[in-house]
A = this chain, B = another copy of it.
Amino acid sequence: MATKLPSTSRSLPIALVRAREGVMSPIREMLSETSITEQQWRVLRVLTECGPLDSKTLADRASLLFPSLTRIVTTLNKGGLVTQTRDAADRRKQIVAITEVGKKIIDDHSEEAARIVVGFKSRLGPENYETLLDLLAMLDPANSDGDT
């Protein structure tokens, strides 16, 4: 048999899946009032925070793979929540920007989203919350590989 593996209840991948489910559940509930999905919300969030971005940066910041981003941005564009413009200097590149309609969706729900975040913070305790974010960052290859 030789199962040197940890019990599934102490398995890091499974713990991450369950934690994500726990965190996303209320957020999904909030988004169910809107017409946008969790990933669309992430894209709009990043665009609100960073302003217009090229697709590569946008995919990176929103933690989405390129093919997913293509579909999501296309959908958002059809709904009038973002605009897609080709870079004049390099016509391979594409600049995605949020529209007023898109901004309104973020604004209309930012308070409730913030409340949800506060809820988790108080559940864990503020310092535990920060610790968790730090530990999670250590698992992100982008944070621990690139810079020594």
Listed stretches A40-48, A71-79, A80-88, A89-97; interface member? A40-48
Contact B19 A24 (CB under 8 A): no
Which of B48, B120, B123, B139 is in CB contact (< 8 Å) with A22? B139
- When all copies of this chain in the complex are counted, the total is 2
Which of B17, B21, B110, B138 is in CB contact (< 8 Å) with A124? B138
A→B interface (CB under 8 Å)? 1-8, 10-25, 27, 38, 42, 45-46, 48-49, 61-63, 103, 106-107, 110-111, 113-114, 117, 120, 123-124, 128-129, 131-133, 135-142, 144
Q: Nearest 9 pairs between A and B by C-beta?
A: A19-B139, A4-B114, A19-B136, A18-B140, A15-B136, A22-B139, A16-B20, A132-B135, A22-B141
Q: Kindly list 6 other residue pairs between chains A and B, CB separation below 8 angstroms, not including A3-B106, A8-B61, A12-B117.
A: A5-B114, A13-B42, A19-B139, A21-B141, A23-B139, A132-B135
